[in-house]
Amino acid sequence: MKTYTTLLFLLSITSLLGCSSTLPAEKASEKPIDVNNSVQQTYVIDVNNSVQQTYAVPTLGVVKNIPLISKIVQQKAKTENLWHRIPQGYGLSMHNHPRIQKSLDKYLKYPPYFKHLTRNARPYLYHIVVELEKRGMPLEIALLPAIESVYNPLVLSPMHAAGIWQFIPNTGNYFGLTQDKWYDGRRDIIKSTAAALDYLQSLHKLFNDDWLLALAAYNYGQGNLRNAIARNQKAGRPTDFWSLKLPKETSKYVPKLLALAKIMANPQDYQILVKPIANKAYFEQINLENQMALSLAAKLVDMSMEDFKHLNPGYKQGVTAPKGPHIFLLPIEKVSLFHQNLAKIPAKKRLALVRAASPKKKQNVHLLKHKIRKGDTFWSIAQRYNTTVSKLRKLNAMKAKSLKVNKFLKVPLRIHTVKSGESLWSIARNYRVSVNTLTRWNSLRKDKILRKGQKLKILVN
């Protein structure tokens, strides 16, 4: 519809300038049109360099040179596609190295990869591009998460690197990415992107403004790369990226990025179909004052938990942390809906949902060692300690049916700390056992008065 409107606007200008006015000639024949005739003429315009689209154009006068209009329409289509914006900001030196060609050939063997990449990148890519442009960094770096994680923030590597930029724990901590039981900043889209760009800029400066070395250091570690450079210096060899002896992964890392950048600049040249991504912001950040259950936030904007989690992957629990941050990313078109629906939820209900979604405190479970006596069986020991045979086997990693006398068997045990006002009767009722059982477990008399802070053994079922 936008393209159709643009075309009508261009043709209207032509008619206003006079029926004899034409656009500059460019290998196109005149096509006279009767101004008073209501019949529409149809023109085929190449919008994306590969897809032919047909538009019905109202008769507005003599129109020449449809190819030039086509070019203008193409340019508008390009500005609306983020993939076309990115190559305009490329800043890495283009090389024709065999390693780049090898990586390029591998990409071309798996066309579905680009569909997967585009789907994952769609919510995040615009934000990454804008942040790179603000810093004057090469826009090839917007493709780096494709190499690291295929833009999947939930990926966790064998080295425990997390997020679309794949920060390992120590590096994440160094760049201020909080990691606790509530939240992992390495997975937070906005914070991890800022940290990754900070890191890359520092590496760029460290390695004398050489982006290829900076990228290699991002993968290999700055200390390791310095050592590789020092070895070449000592041997009198060049110290550019292509001349360094690096691990297999790092030697492929930079060529992968350069090959991908080359394909994404002109995918049609490689017969690769890349679906467009809108050249506009996908999400907006909202800040809340209090804890909120993620399930409620998703429900308020009619999003699935899976989709909501991909925009807010930093949260590890079903609720934001008690002390914050209470920040969500939402699709821009849903922000107003979120605030409208949130205002309808009573504070008490919000709090109840927070409590229900909060992680439960770990039960104070310990292990007791039972010395196996003659005649003991898994069943008799399970009965004695108020547990099950399967739990005993799992806890002791035992598959054998028979037990060896004088060996020890681990038995689950919970420690209960007596609170003010508690009695043997109230504690026994809480754990659904009899007072006799509780006193037997703890070698106590029934008339024993408990003191605050006293520890009691509770055999777990």
Residues carrying an active site annotation: 148
Q: Is 213 left (phi over 0), alpha (psi -120 to 50) or beta?
A: alpha
Taking Cα atoms as reference points, which of 167, 175, 85 lies closest to residue 128? 85
- Which residue shows structure tokens 């003599």? 62
What whole-number distance in Å separates Cα of residue 457 and Cα of residue 445?
14
For residue 298, what are its two tokens?
């998703």
What is the spatial distance between Cα 46 and Cα 52, in angstroms, rounded to a whole number? 5
Cβ pair 95, 243 in contact under 8 A: no
Encode 197-250 in three state secondary structure: HHHHHHHHHHCCCCHHHHHHHHHHCHHHHHHHHHHHHHHCCCCCHHHCCCCHHH
Is the backbone of residue 163 left (phi > 0), alpha (psi -120 to 50) or beta?
left
At residue 362, what are phi and psi to the nearest 5 degrees?
A: -65, 135
428, 394 Cβ separation under 8 angstroms: no
Number of neighbouring beta carbons within 10 Å of residue 330: 24
Q: Which amino acid is at 90?
A: Y
Q: Which two tokens stand for residue 295?
A: 């399930």
Environment class of residue 74 by beta-carbon count within 10 Å: exposed (0-12), middle (13-18) or buried (19+)?
A: middle
Cα gap 259→250, rounded to integer Å: 15
Beta bridge partner(s), residue 284: 330
CA nearest to 220, candidates 241, 245, 249: 249
Closest C-alpha among 397, 392, 366, 398 to residue 379: 392
Query: Would residue 43 be called left, alpha or beta, if left means φ above 0 and alpha means ψ between -120 and 50 degrees?
Result: beta
Length of the chain, in residues: 461
CA distances from 71 to 12, 67, 270 (A): 17, 6, 22
Give residues with Cβ within 8 angstroms of 232, minimum separation 6: 238, 239, 243, 244, 245
Instruction: HSE, CB side, 13 Å, CA atoms: give it for residue 321.
Output: 15
